[in-house]
Amino acid sequence: MFGFLKKSTDNDAAAPAAAAPSWRERLKAGLARTRAQFGGRMKSIFARGKVDDELLEELETLLLTSDIGIEATEHLLADLKARAKKDKLETPEAIQQALADALCALLQPLEAPLDVAGHRPFIVMLAGINGAGKTTSIGKLARYFQAQGKSVLLAAGDTFRAAAREQLMTWGERNGVTVIAQESGDPAAVIFDAIGAAKARGIDVVLADTAGRLPTQLHLMEEIAKVRRVIQKAEPSGPHETLLVLDANIGQNALAQVKAFDKAIAVSGLVVTKLDGTAKGGALAAIARQCPKPVRFIGVGEGIDDLRPFVARDFVDAMFE
């Protein structure tokens, strides 16, 4: 068992803040592929300037091909019809704004920033399939919490992949935080020891990595359930947050992942990564309608600051503008 503490060598902070684009600009750029899929066809659909059966039929096709899902699509179309009747919408701009408002209202309940003030250490367990971006997300979350003045400790609970452990240690070095790791062994034991170390050192936030696994790998789903039980032995009130990391590229498959991981480890929040590489950003609407879980963070780039709390209005604006 070992840990280390090394100052960050990241030179990004030395760059003038004015030179960096704002988060809204980065979000808009990151959702360019989703917006191209969504916004381009929408203009032609709304050009007739009235909400009639033909418009609704074309819009239904667009929403479904944008991975918004059947239930969410039906909900949005019904909401749009109601708004059109109530407000007598007669221009393309007004119809588009009404749809944006309907989508924002659907996504609004998912907007719930993670508050780590209630426990010390506040234990965050991360899970997801291989390649979803768990380890990278942990590194970015470490920076996010540090920016809030919190001390952070990382637990390298992915003991299957040596590369995952090394990657997490690199993030720890970059952020100047301690990483508790083992070269091999039981992931639950690593996280158990990390929680003990965090208590002894007065750490504010523990971010616990776990190995990637598919929901169909039942023995591995049982193993991650064991990890959660061991965390509760180390700290009866924990884990205080169980985050499922979802790759935005999987679209509608996200629903199955949320349901399966929720059954195994009681998912309390989502991190949606790689929104900049997909045209399937609409999948968040399907999640909101069918298995609503708070979207704590979204990622739209490779940069260390490209993981931020989800804000429904900013997200919708970036899809439509």
Q: What is the pLDDT of residues 136-155, one digit of tens each?
A: 999 999 999 999 999 999 99
- pLDDT at residue 281 in the model: 73
Please write the tens of the pLDDT for every residue from 242-286. 999 999 888 778 889 999 999 999 999 999 998 887 666 778 898
Q: State the average pLDDT over residues 15-32.
A: 72
Q: Is the pLDDT of residue 226 over 90?
A: yes
Average pLDDT (31-40) is: 76
Q: What is the enclosing helix (H) or strand (E) of 250?
A: none
Q: For residue 81, name the pLDDT band (cuts at 50, 70, 90).
A: very high
Architecture of domain 25-110: Up-down Bundle (1.20)
pLDDT for 59: 92
- Domain map (residue ranges) of the chain: 25-110, 122-311
Cα distances from 159 to residues 80, 168, 192, in angstroms, run: 49, 11, 14
State the DSSP string of 156-193: ----S-HHHHHHHHHHHHHHT-EEEB-SSS-HHHHHHH
Write down the pLDDT at residue 141.
96
DSSP label at residue 89: -
Containing H/E element for 70?
Answer: helix 70-87
Confidence tier at 99 by pLDDT (50, 70, 90): very high
- Is residue 203 within 8 Å of 180, Cβ to Cβ? no
Check if the beta carbon of residue 177 is closer than 8 Å to that of residue 5: yes
For the structural domain made of 122-311, what CATH number should be given? Answer: 3.40.50.300
Give me the count of residues in the chain: 321
Q: Is the pLDDT of residue 12 over 50?
A: no
